[in-house]
Structure 1
Amino acid sequence: MDLKKKVKTKGTVVLSHVDEKAEQSSWTAAVRLGNTYKVAVDCVGPQGKLVIRVTGRINMVRQCIAGYTTLTSDGYPRKKSKVRHLTVEAPPGAKWAVLIVQLP
């Protein structure tokens, strides 16, 4: 479930987290981001919703099924990076991964 191998994009990986053991149904991290970046998520396991939030930019909800998806935040004009909070909420028992790439 390593998204670094699946997501092919120019840019810098600023966060990569994988919960292969289905131990965390809720997870939060602080990430320094500009306003142009790509978020990739993958979730496998029980039925339910995977929720991804990046403060001030993204709210994504999708069903927890096999297969990954990406979402690009393409802000213009480009702004300096600042700390944003990423929150992942997954159904209990789900295996999930998240990757954030800062785009050039």
Structure 2
Amino acid sequence: MPLPDHTPPWKRELRELWRACSQADSQRLILEILHYRNVLAQIEAMRLPIDRAWKADVGGQLVGLECLRVLLQQERVRVGIMDDIGGSSPPPIEPMYEDL
């Protein structure tokens, strides 16, 4: 079932929620959101060398990998991890919940 349209919380907002909410379930949900965002960054970091190797060996783009790149990029822009769709390299991978 598709989710209704909504504005995703940015990292700053999640930190504010973490400090404001003392309930364990709310904090678990915040950690899960941050975990998911960290996984997105890790997937992108793994996708890049595959893409580079494919281009070097075969030339051109592997369609499935390009679709994955576009999907990851759209999601990163949606949640505020990446501000510019034109950006060519992802931000460095960092644990997002260490300093909550």
Question: Could you tell me the TM-score, scaled by structure 2's length?
Answer: 0.26
- Structure number with greater Rg is 2
Which protein has the bigger helix share?
2
Structure with more strand by fraction: 1
Q: Larger relative contact order (C-alpha < 8 A, sep ≥ 6)?
A: 1
